[in-house]
Amino acid sequence: MKYIFPEGFWWGAAVSALQVEGASDKRGETTWDRWFKLEPNRFFDGVGPKVTSDFYNRYEEDIELMKELNFNSFRTSISWARLFPKGFGEINQEGVDFYNNLIDKLIENNIEPVIALFHFDMPMAMMDLGGFESREVVNYYEEYAKICFELFGDRVKHWVTHNEPIVPVEGGYLYNFHYPDVVDCKRGIQVAYNTAISSAKVVNLYKEMRAEGKVREDGRIGIVLSLTPSYPRSNNSADLKAARIADLFFNKSFLDPCVKGAYPEELVSILADRNMLPVVEEGDKNLLKEGVVEFLGFNYYFPRRVKVRENAVNAKAPFLPEHLFEYYDMPGKRMNRYRGWEIYAKGTFDTLINIKDNYGNLPIFISENGMGVEDEARFRNKKGYIDDDYRINFVKEHLKWLHKAIEEGCNVNGYHMWTLMDNWSWMNAYKNRYGFIEVDLEDDLKRTMKKSGYWFKEVAQNNGFND
């Protein structure tokens, strides 16, 4: 069967600044730099974010590889701490030069840059002020965004306010895998709320600058969300409610304010009953209503399967969303055993249909999707590159469901793989590899295309594939 995608469909990959650039020039300290100094034992093999994939010095080589892969688009982020080492004040001209050169080189090679303003790398100076718990930091973020728009908005057409804003909330304030590594749901809810406010402020700012002719007239601004569909164990009303509550906390908590401009009443009620509502400021309601995004990025890796709670919660335990549901280990599920994640490609289709039916069918693209595998070098063939058929099959299966969603009328305009090349992954360093391109840590970070890269090159060239 032929799977042909719409004309102008985005084919590419996503990275983030901290995970590929390395700590070159005068980049300021981030939360990850600080946490690595404090607790290097928390990082796989004791590897921190200093070098990563050295994209800062090798971006021209890497763009040549993107061109070879027939990319027509590429998502990355600007490191706030690279432009402003303290989060505000004096700008780092070397950082400005790097991003100018990167953007120009992408455009020169007919690769559309999709630029995120924030991808988990909070400047430590901003975290010392409270991070996104603080409205002061929200204001500094808006100023940083304004400078980015002024510097690069004449060329960058697609902007992203935040990548996966739920993740710093989960990692930093609920589940111990991001700095500041506290377990305090109420603080996490304040961070989530202020992050949504920061997105709305920056969206409104961009729209104003566009109306004034200060950025591209055809420019657009959106957000990238990790939308993990919540499936109930059964059609029992209690299981259905459990899945709905999980969806409220982990999907609708950002999807609704950022796309609809308001929070779900049921979520507000749940938080109010537990004295968990965030501090709000006058005018926030209108700010959210006006600051809705113009397109959506959808990161998808695995589904969430839940059931009604069957065991009591310790009354002394700090509140977590899981107090209202339990995870369900579905028998027979397919697994990526290296990450412990279920493989369920239909989740892309179900989520896209939900966006079409309940969120105005706004423009959306798959902004991350990928399969991390440990010790990939064992799959190296006699020609010297990695035979990652498992990755090809993974991508192909997701693209089939994506194609079906488009046939059903979903407004989908692209697919970005995570990721271009093997990169440093937060606490996991290089434990699991995701790239179309291998990065050899033992041989001067040498780049070598994997079999999946050669396959994707043909898919992008043909705007589809046969299967």
Which sequence positions are flagged as catalytic?
368
* Beta strand segments in 280-381, E: 295-299, 304-307, 326-327, 335-336, 341-342, 364-368, 373-374
Which are the contacts of 72, defined by CB distance < 8 A and separation ≥ 6? 10, 11, 12, 110, 111, 112, 460
Q: Which residues are within 8 A (CB) of 266 and not within 5 positions of it... i.e. 6 or more apart?
A: 244, 248
Residues 6+ positions from 89 with CB-CB distance below 8 Å: none
**Overall residue count recorded for the chain in this entry:** 467
Q: Give the span between the Cα atoms of 209 and 142, in whole angstroms.
A: 13
Q: Are strands 464-466 and 446-449 parallel, antiparallel or unpaired?
A: unpaired
Contact 194, 108 (CB under 8 A): no
Decide: helix, strand or coil at residue 389: helix
Contact (CB, 8 A) for 409 and 356: yes
Terminal CA-CA length for the chain: 5
Instruction: Specify the DSSP class assigned to residue 12.
Output: E
What is the dihedral sign for C-alpha 184, 186, 192, 198?
negative
Alpha carbons within 13 angstroms on the beta-carbon side of residue 187 total 17
Round the CA-based radius of gyration of the chain to a whole number and report it. Answer: 21
Q: Residues near 372 by Cβ (< 8 Å), separated by ≥ 6?
A: 336, 338, 339, 425, 432, 433, 434
Which residue type, as a one-letter code, is found at position 276?
M
Q: Record the tokens describing residue 109, joined without a space.
A: 């090679």
The strand pair at 341-342 and 335-336 is best described as: antiparallel
Question: What is the DSSP secondary-structure string of 155-204?
Answer: T--EEEEEE-THHHHHHHHTSSSSTT----HHHHHHHHHHHHHHHHHHHH
Q: Which distant-in-sequence residues (6+ apart) come within 8 Å of 270 by Cβ?
A: 245, 248, 324
